[in-house]
Amino acid sequence: MTSSASRPQLRGVLPVLQTPFTPQGDFDFETLDREIQWAFDTGADGVVVAMVSEILRLSESGRRELAEHVCKAAQGRGTSVISVGAESTPVAVELAQHAQSVGASAVMAIPPISTSLSSAATRDYFAAIAAGISIPLVVQDASGYVGSAIDIGVYGELLEQFGPERILFKPEASPLGPNLSRLRDATGGKAQIFEGSGGINLVDCYRRGIVGTMPGTDLLDAIVALWNALQAGDDDRIYQLSLPICAIVALQLSAGLDGFLAIEKHLLVRRGIFKNTVQRQPVGWTIDAETAAEVDRLFDRLQHVL
């Protein structure tokens, strides 16, 4: 097992990969490799498999196959984070152990979404995952678009039990900024927090003390540039970049998870990274021509800024 001293730390810009499919619905690993290569070439510190990777629409064997491919592709280039949340504790633990066995730097998990859990049950679920592995666990509250919010007390108990190097956090419940500050203050600044708003809240969250961001790959060049501007304290550059990013992400947010999926794949095709915009079915929203035209106009403005 990798010791915590030699394990690469999760930090910086860690994009969540979109999963490319063939027209027949199979994994397109050639395109996935191109996406991962582009991510690292663009300045990503690692890659993530999570909600916009369509994991909720994959079989368990498909999730394992995707994890194996991503971890192997990221080896030696950056960190890899694999989402392992499931509807039962044993399945989540098994997925976490599999991710660790294929070289994941960390795992991430949302609570089960088919039932409403008590705080104690939520804590026990995450504690079982963390206890079953030796790599870090990112506790994700994805309630902005799926599942229920996690009580702040759960974070504190997990942090106390496992320590800040084993338990990290990705809170997404609204309002994101104030909730992030509550978590930071309640843990005495020990909580290592990522934001995952696609970039729309990145500036606000950075100022509240996050250690990294998990955006999509579609706007990665802009997010890397924005992260660098935040680290440099260059306010003019920060707002030149963040305003068009926010406008695009606002359109994604308006349609929920399917909005992120459809618009991100649209932009990845525009970049020449993806061959198509195929998603696993069924979906609740597809991009219309007028939304696509507005996304394209905003994307062109963002590229001009870059």
SS3 54: coil
Q: Is 256 left (phi over 0), alpha (psi -120 to 50) or beta?
A: left
Q: 62: buried, middle or exposed (CB in 10 Å: 19+, 13-18, 0-12)?
A: middle
Q: Is the dihedral of CA 228, 230, 231, 233 positive or negative?
A: positive
Is the separation of the CB atoms in 155 and 186 below 8 Å?
Answer: yes
Q: 272: buried, middle or exposed (CB in 10 Å: 19+, 13-18, 0-12)?
A: exposed
Is the separation of the CB atoms in 131 and 167 below 8 Å?
Answer: no
DSSP state of 216: B
SS3 276: coil
- Flag whether 214 is marked binding: yes
108: its two tokens: 């991430």
Distance in angstroms (rounded) separating the CA atoms of residues 256 and 260: 7
Is the separation of the CB atoms in 17 and 32 below 8 Å?
Answer: yes
Would you say how long the chain is, in residues?
Answer: 306
Comparing C-alpha atoms, which of 74, 17, 83, 14 is closest to residue 45?
Answer: 14
Is the separation of the CB atoms in 217 and 35 below 8 Å?
Answer: yes
Annotated binding-site positions for pyruvate: 214
Annotated binding-site positions: 214
